[in-house]
A and B are shown apart, each in its own frame.
Chain A
């Protein structure tokens, strides 16, 4: 069992009492399996809102906002899946913003690089140029907000796959922490209640 699984388990056990705790223990394999199922959702499953073509464009945008370097970015976190899901959920009134925004993105792409038909046709530096040109637009900022939100929201919402967003921050989601929490409160003199570093 990984550390994360262990901490998750101790949260589940510690945060409920009496019968609930027994229930969780008895059903723990099923709970884990259900979670795994969410995480292993079929990569090729249909999108709820985006067309496959739109999904490609949005995913390439998210991959510029939180790029992949030596650690996973928005692409590996499957942020596009998160955005697709909230656009048929609590942010359904932003659907038109995406439809229009993606058309504007294609137009801006075409204007700058006439040989390209769409944003995803561009190479890295060209993508950077296009997004920099639109970075103050409401559409870009909507995608930025959604990308960051999906990258750092709980994986049960479709993004942050494998908790890669939380890993980037060093965020431990066990919800059950014991002191010392950080470097400074762990200093020996602090543990003794002292006041000098």
Chain B
């Protein structure tokens, strides 16, 4: 690979912190526009450029060598969790994508757009006392062209449908949806009985050759694995190669940023990071784009405190880290008479979307999507895939495996979580990460409506499985989230510098040459499928940033 390299003393136009869903797009758009860009990525290269070497081996994936990890390691990138301020925080298991391409290298690929009315629910639904439910400073119409751009530049498979529960699209998807699986067929069976509708899920997994990449071969070792045929449209196989090809962009892996530096005038001068040898390096830049994901971006701003910014960079509002949304869920599982073989193909195929809008008749705020899934690879199935009450070993265990394997499907729900000021990321006062920096501390308890909503979706999942003809149905209790890849909201976007961190073009209210572009900007979390909206926001942010930089306004 022939990649431009910059000296750290050399001032580049932009540093982009993070190379995931947003960072990859920012790097590609800025370098294509002719700017010099250094991307700082915590993780390694993964199998960048030789993706066929991604192991399709469940045992290796479960026991991955630390150097080959594609997600962060809670033993190194330590974090803590507590339900509220009165509790002592305990060691947490929060992780995020940690490789060139970030979480998009291993994610399931769901690429739902937010619906038009999800940008102004404070108006359409009404504010909810004690919550931070607020309208976005931008509308769906303003973002729509960038959704389309993201779908076509990343490569999203799907089918445009005319439905009140799906965002309207100005253009078809570039490639057709994944084949219907048996779990999807059973969704159709249930939906026909219950008067619901089924929609093929939009996925960042291409189904036929597109932009030089292969279509999905339905290998079945999907979410959590790197894609060996490059069918998953990650930043690593779409944006980052194009950024490097411009000759303007250098990607520095194993670069763990500890601080965004500022001068006395309150402008960013560059960033200080630990290289792979844990040596501190300062890279100078005209401007910084922070795309490290909601948890890490907020933590880095809070760590970047100075006499001028004593409460953390870009935090005069005190909002940095707050309104964290980890994501809500719920679901159920069922057994069916005939084999589904749902281990083949992608994780999530179809969605039942009739409960996407909030309905006051339910007595609480909330909505979400039900997705059909049957995903179970052999080891995980053997260890924990049998229905409750099944023998754990012996002749009965073996017989249950024989009877149940490939007959199971799951419903996974993705539900709303209200933004609350008290739910937040901050710096743990006691625990340090492997680099000696304050660990991320997550404080989170969902609003009572979120819990009621999750229970509603759990019940709907049971109803749907029964309507589909399941011979046995079970569902664990709903659980409030403690971390995970869908974290959003910690640097919310808004017009008012007193209540938000960045403006509608992602520029920090307090710092003219600092831009935050990632899931942290989401004012509301949508129905807990954030990636496509993050990607659309990034394309929009990049377009405005290029215009501003060319006009000397950075």
Chain A contacts to B: CB under 8 angstroms: 11, 14-17, 20, 64-67, 69, 71, 73, 90-91, 128, 131, 135, 144-145, 147-149, 151-154, 156-157, 165-166, 168-172, 175-187, 190, 194-197
Contact = CB atoms under 8 A, between A and B. Distances in A.
A43 to B, nearest CB: 22
Given A64-B394, A152-B381, A178 B341 contact: no
Interface stretch (B18-26, B398-406, B427-435): B398-406
Interface centre among B185, B217, B342 (most CB of A within 10 A): B185
Interface stretch (B103-111, B187-195, B447-455): B187-195
B180 A165 contact: no
A171 B397 contact: no
Given A20-B52, A151-B382, A66 B344 contact: no
Contacts of B339: 170, 182-183
24 contacts: A15-B217, A16-B52, A69-B395, A71-B402, A131-B393, A135-B392, A148-B383, A153-B379, A168-B401, A170-B341, A171-B378, A172-B344, A177-B217, A179-B181, A182-B406, A184-B185, A184-B186, A185-B179, A185-B184, A190-B180, A194-B188, A195-B192, A195-B198, A196-B192
Nearest to B218: A177
A185 B52 CA distance: 29
A147 B373 CA distance: 27
A185 B189 contact: no
A184 B182 contact: yes
Closest CB pairs A-B (n = 8) = A183-B338, A179-B179, A182-B182, A152-B378, A182-B341, A184-B185, A184-B182, A153-B59
Contact of B218 (A154, A181, A190): A181
A27 B221 CA distance: 25
B382 to A, nearest CB: 4
A171 B343 CA distance: 8
Interface of B: 52, 56-59, 63, 179-182, 184-186, 188-189, 191-192, 198, 214, 217-221, 228-229, 336, 338-345, 378-379, 381-383, 392-395, 397-398, 401-402, 405-406, 469
B112 to A, nearest CB: 21
Nearest to A64: B394
B182 A181 contact: yes
A55 to B, nearest CB: 20
Contact of B182 (A148, A149, A166, A185): A185
B222 to A, nearest CB: 11
Given A67-B398, A152-B381, A177 B57 contact: no
Contacts of B221: 175
Contacts of B57: 153-154, 156
A73 B401 CA distance: 12
B345 A179 contact: yes
A184 B340 contact: yes
Contacts of B336: 184
B395 A183 contact: no
Contacts of B56: 175
A146 to B, nearest CB: 11
A178 B59 CA distance: 24
A144 B379 CA distance: 12
A169 B189 contact: no
B229 to A, nearest CB: 6
A147 B397 CA distance: 13
Nearest to A165: B378
Contacts of A91: 63
Contact of B340 (A151, A153, A182): A182
A75 B511 CA distance: 66
B382 A152 contact: yes
Contacts of A128: 394
Contact of B405 (A170, A178, A180): A170
A90 B62 CA distance: 11
Nearest to B217: A176
A140 B59 CA distance: 20
B14 to A, nearest CB: 35
B378 A170 contact: no
Contacts of B63: 90-91
A123 to B, nearest CB: 16
A78 to B, nearest CB: 15
A197 B181 contact: no
Contact of A182 (B181, B219, B383, B402): B181
A15 B218 contact: no
B187 to A, nearest CB: 9
Given A148-B382, A184-B336, A185-B180, A153 B58 contact: yes
Contact of A67 (B58, B189, B394): B394
Nearest to A152: B378
Contact of A185 (B185, B394, B398, B402): B185
Contacts of A187: 185
A176 B402 CA distance: 23
Nearest to B343: A171
A195 B179 CA distance: 15
A196 B198 CA distance: 12
Contacts of A147: 393
Given A179-B218, A184-B185, A64 B338 contact: no
Given A69-B398, A153-B59, A185-B184, 16 more contacts: A65-B394, A65-B397, A152-B378, A153-B57, A154-B57, A168-B401, A168-B405, A170-B339, A172-B341, A177-B219, A181-B340, A182-B181, A182-B406, A184-B185, A185-B180, A187-B185
A154 B58 contact: yes
A66 B393 contact: yes
Contacts of A170: 339, 341, 405-406
A196 B189 contact: yes
A14 B397 CA distance: 36
B65 to A, nearest CB: 8
A197 B191 CA distance: 11
A179 B220 CA distance: 12
Contacts of A71: 402
Contact of B214 (A17, A168, A197): A17
B507 to A, nearest CB: 43
A104 B394 CA distance: 21
A175 B58 CA distance: 12
A122 to B, nearest CB: 15
Contacts of A135: 392-393
Nearest to A179: B179
Interface centre among A145, A147, A171, A172 (most CB of B within 10 A): A171
A177 B344 contact: yes
A149 B382 CA distance: 8
A151 B56 CA distance: 17
A171 to B, nearest CB: 5
Contact of A14 (B58, B186, B217, B469): B217
B181 to A, nearest CB: 6
Contact of B338 (A17, A153, A182): A182
